[in-house]
Structure 1
Amino acid sequence: MYTQLAAEWAARGATVPCLPDPLWQRLTSIEHLERETETTLRQLHLAGIAQPTEGPLGTDQPWTLT
């Protein structure tokens, strides 16, 4: 009965206990992260959001490691 139920879940695209979840694997892949980052940066660029030119706390000094 479990085998039939698991096959039905898999056919619907649902997560099946004890089997890898293809959607989760895709969402956690480095390729997905890269695509999402590129898309977000492109949207910010098209929206006209400029890169900050000032240093921390509104000063003109660049960030430095101490």
Structure 2
Amino acid sequence: MANSDQAAGLGKQVKGAVKDAVGGATNNADLQAEGKLDKAEGKVQKGYGDAKSDLADKLDK
């Protein structure tokens, strides 16, 4: 089961991918850079959520 950090991280990654693609298609470098940043933030947040979930699973055993 995904925790809130995993879900939010995935959401940021998707939002970032859309911004990156739209920025690339419209030659909007600022939007594309913002999208890349959102994707990176999402990966970090999802990684934190994954670690939190792994720790919770280990503590439940």
Q: TM-score range by the shorter chain?
A: 0.3 to 0.5
| TM-score normalised over the length of structure 2 | 0.33
Structure having the higher Rg: 1
Question: Relative to total residues, which structure has the larger helix share, 1 or 2?
Answer: 2
Instruction: Identify the structure with bigger relative contact order (alpha carbons < 8 Å, sequence gap 6+).
Output: 2
| TM-score normalised over the length of structure 1 | 0.32
